[in-house]
Structure formats: C-alpha cells, structure tokens
Amino acid sequence: MEQKVAENRKLVENDFPRHMLRELETALASYKIVYIVGPRQVGKTTLVRNLLNKGKYVSLDNDIMLQSIEFDPDGVMQRFKAEAGTEPVIIDEVQRSPDLSLAIKQIVDGDKRKGQFLLTGSSNIFTSMKVADSLPGRVVPLKLWPLTVSETRRKKPPQILDWALQKNPSLSQIQNVEVMQREEYIQLILEGGFPEPRNINTVPRQKQYRSYVDSIVDRDLGDIMPLRKPDSFRKLIDQMAMRTAKEVNHNELSSILGMKWETVQRYLDIMLRLSLVVKAPAWRSKEARRDIKNPKYHFVDSGMACALRRLDAGMFEPGHVNSAKLGGLLESFVFNEVLRSLPFQDKNFILYHWRSADRREIDILAEGDGQLVGIEVKSASSIRMDDVKHLKWFAANNSGKYPFTGILLYFGEHILSLGDRCYALPVSSLWSSFDL
C-alpha cells in the first residue's frame, strides 16, 4: 500500500497540493482506520480516490448502497474487505450510516494491519459515545478544510506562529512575500476556498455556494439530527454568515428567529459538526476576573459567507454603505488561514480570541506550550501605532506570565518591527516562506 500511495501522490499534486497529504500518509501507516472529516464538496473524494485508486471505493451517497449496508452491515463489510485485498476499503460520506462503525470494529479487531479503512464524511460520527466507545485507539480523525491560499499558490504550509515564538524573530526570515493590492485581497475573500466555485464569475459562484448550503439542509442535516423545522436551521446559517467574526448573542438570535435559547444552541452545535462554522473560545488567564467569556464564531469559508450575504467587490469600495463589512470577513479569512496551518507548526496551538470588560481586544490569540501570539487584522494599507495599542497593552500586562508576540496583519506591503515584540506584516505573509 505504501508504494501505491507514493505512486499516486503526483495525481493529487497535479490538482492542488493539499497540505494534509503527508499527514494522511502517516495516519494510514499508523492506524487501522483513518477518518477524513470536512465540509461537503471540499475535495475529500478527489483526495482519497487519487491517492488510493486501487482500494475498494464505496459511496454512501448512493441510496441503494446505503440500504444494502444497513440490511447486512457485517456481511457487506466482510465482502468489501475481501474485494480490497491488501488495499484500504474507502467509504465516502460514512456519516450516513453511523452504526457501520460496529461492523468495521469486528473486522479490524481480527486483523493487525494498519490502513484497513479510509473513511470520509461531512460530520464526525465518532463524536457520539456509542461510536467512540466501539473504536478506541483504532481510528484517527483528520480534518480537510477548504483550500488555503498557500495551497492554491502551490506553496508549503506557512509557519508564522513558530516564527513568532522564536527567542529573536527576524524579519529577514520572512521570504517571498507577495505584494498585493487591496482589490486582490478582496477577490480572495470573495472566491473562498471551495475547489469548484472559487474560479467562476461572481453571480454563478454565489448561486453555487447558496445551492451548496441548501443541499446540506436537505441532505446532510438528516444524517446528524432530523429537525422538525429545517427552514429555521437554514435561516440561522444566513444569520451566522452575517455575524462571522463576532461574539454570538443567543438571546438576540432567539428573538430574530423565533426560537428558544436552547434551540439556537443546539443548531449552533449542529453547524459546528457540519463544519459550517468554527468556534474561537474566549481566552482567559487564571488571574483574570474581567475577561469576556463569550466565544466568537467564524464562518468556515469567506466566499460562502459573501455569497449568502450577496456581497460583491463593488460593495467593498470606500464610501459604499457595505464597505465596513469587510473587516469581519477579513478577520474570518485570516482566522481560517491560521487555523488550517496549525497541523504544520512545530508547537501545538489552540486559537482563541480575547476581550476585556474595558473593551481591549485581540482578534486572534494563539496559545502554544504556554506561549501566546496575538494577531490583529486591519483592512487598511497603512498603519498607525494606535492600531497595535491592545497588542502592546497585553504584552505589558501579561509578559511576565505568558511570553507574548504581537502581529498586526494589514493590506500594506511593508514588513515592520514596532518594538516590544510587535510586528506589522502584510496579510500575504500567511502564504509566505519562513526560513526557520
């Protein structure tokens, strides 16, 4: 199998060099079951079929196949395993049959080989206690997100967080920084990272993104938790697209949508499981008493958020009534780029946001091994020292407890040191090279 993976790597790289490819190869050599979780149409099927084109491939999007498996899961899985031989059994959209895990468990319990099953799905079936308890230590979940800019530029994953936490970060280590204009950044935000719609014109792209969301409500939602009022869930998706990069007020959403508070929370949990949104918890120090506790939610893809809000490039022109909306979309764009780089940093990072009761705030706070990197995001081509005042305040008031580096990402082209381990970098640093 390892030889076949190596032979088919080129097929995957001819499409887009997905950064998680090496992570997937390592997982297949280390675990009996590998489960790739990610939004629908993000490229999971393309990735696994190109990488392992001689395995036994089955899609549960086929209703007849799904019914056949549910009638006799043990027998069907045994047949698939025999047909696959020494190659993996690849099961696409496995979340449509969560109980399949028990049949898979029986097979892998009797076979010590690694890489027996490669599963994909748009939600993680292993979050339920029934399924998780059946496969401890046998399965590893991997997350496949929409494309990053560094993937579409065919560049290596950026190590911006590892760079920031060096003892003495050097600006000369940041290499091949792409000089971009404001309009080019806006185009990246509007395109998003879903492979199919990102390169088509605005109107059909927006229609395709909206159709994609409708298909989630019509098809994927029932696999997780059938709802009596799916239209209400669809309305919440639109509301969350409008609120990307904001703290969510459950009472406000409850009032707007005519739902109970508990229903809003349950629907948000479903959106998280479907990878429609990502939650950034509020960071709090052990001594903090005045830090805000509310999490932020980021829409998983800026292009999809723009499509649901029917925003185009002209609406972000200075002076346009919608131009102020660029800030939150840019913050979510940056958050998602940083989030997708985490598996490739040397340290293990968790992303937060931070806000104090006296209105100091940091858009993104990355914590790794007891150290912190604060990231502020500005949709401007020039900066003022006032733009880093919260980063500098945080550094001065927490530096003795948590080693801290502050980064301001902006639309300008200059790489600047602002003192006190604070730096201003172009947003394009997120897909630049770091000579560490």
pLDDT of res. 322: 80
pLDDT digits (tens, 9 = 90+) for 167-185: 999 999 999 999 999 999 9
Contact status, residue 353 vs residue 283, Cβ threshold 8 Å: yes
Q: How far apart are CA 348 and CA 393, in angstroms?
A: 25
The DSSP output letter for 313 is G
pLDDT of res. 410: 98
pLDDT of res. 411: 98
Q: Tokens 């006296």 identify what position?
A: 358
pLDDT of res. 400: 63
Q: How far apart are CA 276 and CA 26, in angstroms?
A: 27
Burial class of 204 by CB neighbour count within 10 A (0 to 12, 13 to 18, 19+): exposed
Q: How many CB atoms lie within 10 A of CB 358?
A: 7
Between strands 371-377 and 361-368, the pairing is: antiparallel
pLDDT digits (tens, 9 = 90+) for 271-300: 999 999 999 999 987 665 567 788 999 999
pLDDT of res. 132: 59
Contact status, residue 223 vs residue 215, Cβ threshold 8 Å: no
Q: DSSP letters of 409-420? A: EESSS--EEEET
Q: Where are the alpha helices (DSSP H) in 173-260?
A: 182-191, 202-215, 221-224, 230-242, 250-257
Contact status, residue 417 vs residue 385, Cβ threshold 8 Å: no
3-state class (DSSP) for residue 395: helix
3-state class (DSSP) for residue 59: strand
Q: How far apart are CA 432 and CA 174, in angstroms?
A: 7
Residue type, 258: G
Q: How far apart are CA 111 and CA 32, in angstroms?
A: 9
Between strands 139-143 and 174-175, the pairing is: unpaired
Q: DSSP letters of 127-146? A: GSHHHHHHSTTTEEEEE-PS
Contact status, residue 163 vs residue 174, Cβ threshold 8 Å: yes
- CB under 8 A, 24+ apart: contacts of 266-271: 266/225, 267/232, 267/233, 267/236, 268/236, 268/240, 268/297, 270/221, 270/224, 270/225, 270/233, 271/236, 271/237, 271/240
Q: Which of 417, 213, 245 is nearest to 334 (CA)?
A: 245
Which domains, ranges and CATH numbers included, belong to the chain?
Answer: 2-143 (3.40.50.300), 149-434 (no CATH)
Q: Which of 98, 351, 100 is nearest to 89 (CA)?
A: 100
pLDDT of res. 159: 95
Point out the residues of the chain with pLDDT beneath 50: 1-13, 129
